[in-house]
Structure 1
Amino acid sequence: MASNSTTSGAGKTILVTGGSGFVAAEVLNAFLSRGYNVRTTVRNDSSADKIKKSHSKYINQLSFAIVKDVQIPGGHDEAVKGVDGVVHTASPFLLQVEDNERDLLLPAIKGTTEVLASVQKNAPNVKRVVITSSFASVVDVSKGNRPGYAYSEKDWNPTPYEVAAKKDAPAAVAYCASKVFAEKAAFDYVKEHKPQFEITTVCPPMVYGPSGSVVTNLDNLNTSAADIYRLMNGSCKEVPETSFYGWVDVRDVGEVHARAFESPEAAGQRYLTVSSGYTYQKICDIIRKDFPEKRNLVPEGTAPYPDVYTLDNSKVKKQLGVEFRSLETSIHDMVVQFIEIEKATGKA
């Protein structure tokens, strides 16, 4: 999916929080390819060095700000100075936690509102802040597979805060809730504080596709990449159960963030950013078909496509003119990258 323009951002500076993330790598590409200067927050210099390597062709447009903790009041005050827009991607994605409220809910909520407070106070030129949310803030997990139902932007995950914060609540429930409370806190912030900017939220489900970061170790992949690599390296003997029946390519997610920033129509909107439904069975079938040399490592399975909810992507396609990559393209490109890394690291 090509960008609208290669020079639309000339002379402007965007701040992207959490620049070393899987989605953030493609958000960086979408803005850098349009000619924006991009400042990105990282926790340390080694993260900055990795981004310099992965985005080396744009090195003259890149700069960095160290923010060790997104929740600290004023923690982004310096990072936002002089920027023309902000994309907030930084949020905890952890499923092994000791305390749901401390480790998931508060970092997601305060991490978002503190960024907005810093922008309101220190970045008068910013008219739009784009926030990476998630299908987790849309889905009602308690309704299960919900055959015949189409999720859209009007849906909100209804998990009460008290339930998510309980010590014995499953971390997956708390993670999903953290996304909805962070997103709602952002909209509430704008209503209450009436800042100089409007916000737009982007809600992707499972995010796949090749990594825009430099990957040198297949034992230490990001969550999304590891989810697919296990299906082709022999470690999965059976096709896993699918948890969320929607997916999108990471490159398309990056593009949606840039379009959401540039489009006047996107002000105050949320976008369910999804390509289509999927199952792990479909992914295994694609790998077996496209890569016969891997076929004996990929679980075969025979599961039919289950009768489950769908995700309505008509709004993002209509308002932002997005065309999404197919599952076949995304998984093929991922596996090609994995095979290249296997060869480079002697694992092939």
Structure 2
Amino acid sequence: MAQAMEKELILVTGVTGYIAGRTAEALLQAGYQVRGTVRDLSSARHTQNALSEFDSRFQITVVPDICVAGALDEAMEDCTGVVQIAAPMKISGQKAIPAVEKAVNIVNGVLESASKHPSVNNVVLLSSVSAIRRSGSGPYTFTEKDWNTEVEAMFKTDPDNMSGGMIYRAAKVAAERAFWKYKETNKPRFAMASVNPSFVHGPPLVVPNSVFKIKGTTGFIVSIQAGLDGPDVFKTYPWWVDVRDVARVIVFCVKNRVDGERFLAVSAYGPQQAVADVLRSVRPNSRVEKGVPGEGYAMPGYQAPVSEDQILDGSKLVRVTGQDYIPYEKSVVDTALAYEPLLANLGPSIYIKKVSQKIFSYLMPSGK
């Protein structure tokens, strides 16, 4: 089987991103060849170094603008699978309509390119829980059958007054809707599946050389390591999954050519206090604020408290793949250990607080 996989080349778009980097690694570990796209070759150096053990099985190709029609035509040459992760999008300073149109055009462009290459037999889309979860009152459990109809309605009726966060969610749901509409309309010969993670943490493939360069939701753990409060968005919606689990289910979809399925990837309910409790258990003398141990989450298993009336059910992923999620404690500790060296020379906490806004410039995750 490994020798068979070595003959298969998988395209991973935006390979220098947090989730994409771990996905490329997981595909290589599974025996595949991987071609990763980047906008600029200079940005790929650290990723190439991190994956150097795989030698010629990992290659980089430059796609300056994935939004251009046919941008991936050449990159898909000889590929048997495509993992669409790249989603260049600014959260602030943009209008909803062009942002959503851009997200939809990227997905359609990927699928049109795939349709031109007979070698491509499956396409996996990294979507988001944002395409599934909506706000509301009363008890409800979200699964793969759900869609964020709330943000769709807002985009339809009042796009000019949407916040950056709402625009992000509208783009995610519209992009995935376009993905499945393409399948229904065109009935392509290749299999299609989507993976919808909640907030993602876990150690990155490449650790930046400064806390100021941290991107993605891992910064929530770093902030608590530094003795700070995490951003409010993670306090009110603390559903998490490890990046290595996201990569694993993507590989599962590629390997099994999963068709017509969505996977909601969420393993734990981990509010700020849960992170603090885990970190203090391994670093009792650290800067981490003690808080009220055990408050705001239920044990065993880092579950939502009974007061939480909206639940995310990520059990399908476990049932279908036959493998459980990485334990929450391990995910938190592994993330903290990866970034710990960056905190060693930050100085007193008063200094950290002054620069915390810079550290948390990622408030909405990029590349997710």
Question: What SS is found at the alignment partner of 1:77?
Answer: coil
Asked if structure 1 preserves the Cα contact closer than 8 Å seen for 2:47 and 2:205, the reply is no
* Residue 176 of structure 1, aligned match among 154, 169, 173: 169
Corresponding position: 1:318 with 2:311? no
Corresponding position: 1:331 with 2:332? yes
Cα deviation, residue 160, structure 1: 5.2
Q: 1:340 to 1:14 in 2, by over 3 A?
A: same
* Residue 202 of structure 1, aligned match among 188, 195, 199: 195
The letter for the 1-side match of 2:148 is N
The letter for the 2-side match of 1:108 is A
Cα deviation, residue 195, structure 1: 2.0
Cα deviation, residue 93, structure 1: 5.2
Structure 1 unpaired stretches of 5+: none
The letter for the 2-side match of 1:54 is A
Cα deviation, residue 36, structure 1: 1.0
Corresponding position: 1:113 with 2:104? no
Deviations 1:71-119 (A, max 9, x none): 21111111111101000011135432322222x3122211111011011
Q: 1:184 to 1:273 in 2, by over 3 A?
A: same
Question: What SS is found at the alignment partner of 1:322?
Answer: coil
Corresponding residue pairs, total: 335
CA distance in 2 between counterparts of 1:341 and 1:20 reads: 20
Q: 1:313 to 1:82 in 2, by over 3 A?
A: same
Q: In the alignment, which residue of structure 1 is the partner of 2:261?
A: 269
* Residue 124 of structure 1, aligned match among 109, 118, 124: 118
The letter for the 1-side match of 2:273 is Q
CA distance in 2 between counterparts of 1:14 and 1:111 reads: 18
Cα deviation, residue 6, structure 1: 5.3
Asked if structure 2 preserves the Cα contact closer than 8 Å seen for 1:7 and 1:34, the reply is no
Q: In the alignment, which residue of structure 2 is the partner of 1:243?
A: 236
Question: What SS is found at the alignment partner of 2:323?
Answer: coil
* Residue 39 of structure 1, aligned match among 35, 41, 66: 35
Cα deviation, residue 215, structure 1: 2.0
Q: Counterparts of 1:282-297 in structure 2 under 5 Å?
A: 282-294=274-286, 296-297=287-288
Q: Which moved more, 1:181-190 or 1:309-318?
A: 309-318
Q: In the alignment, which residue of structure 2 is the partner of 1:280?
A: 272
* Residue 11 of structure 2, aligned match among 12, 15, 24: 15
Asked if structure 1 preserves the Cα contact closer than 8 Å seen for 2:271 and 2:296, the reply is no
Q: In the alignment, which residue of structure 2 is the partner of 1:231?
A: 224
The letter for the 1-side match of 2:124 is V
Asked if structure 2 preserves the Cα contact closer than 8 Å seen for 1:238 and 1:300, the reply is no
* Residue 136 of structure 1, aligned match among 130, 133, 137: 130
Cα deviation, residue 304, structure 1: 2.9
The letter for the 2-side match of 1:17 is T
The letter for the 2-side match of 1:188 is K
Question: What SS is found at the alignment partner of 1:242?
Answer: helix
Cα deviation, residue 235, structure 1: 3.5
Q: In the alignment, which residue of structure 2 is the partner of 1:96?
A: 92
Q: 1:240 to 1:313 in 2, by over 3 A?
A: closer
Cα deviation, residue 190, structure 1: 1.5
The letter for the 2-side match of 1:128 is N
Structure 1 vs Structure 2 CA RMSD: 2.2
Asked if structure 1 preserves the Cα contact closer than 8 Å seen for 2:70 and 2:113, the reply is yes
Q: 1:227 to 1:101 in 2, by over 3 A?
A: farther
Asked if structure 1 preserves the Cα contact closer than 8 Å seen for 2:23 and 2:251, the reply is yes
CA distance in 2 between counterparts of 1:274 and 1:319 reads: 14
Q: In the alignment, which residue of structure 2 is the partner of 1:300?
A: 291
Structure 2 unpaired stretches of 5+: 298-304, 348-368
CA distance in 2 between counterparts of 1:31 and 1:313 reads: 22
CA distance in 1 between counterparts of 2:232 and 2:12 reads: 36
Q: In the alignment, which residue of structure 2 is the partner of 1:155?
A: 146
Cα deviation, residue 30, structure 1: 1.0
Deviations 1:221-257 (A, max 9, x none): 0121222211111343999862324210001110110
CA distance in 2 between counterparts of 1:267 and 1:125 reads: 16
Asked if structure 2 preserves the Cα contact closer than 8 Å seen for 1:9 and 1:31, the reply is no
Cα deviation, residue 26, structure 1: 1.1
CA distance in 1 between counterparts of 2:231 and 2:56 reads: 47
When normalised by structure 1's length, the TM-score is 0.89
CA distance in 1 between counterparts of 2:235 and 2:322 reads: 29
Cα deviation, residue 198, structure 1: 1.9
The letter for the 2-side match of 1:82 is D
Q: 1:334 to 1:241 in 2, by over 3 A?
A: closer
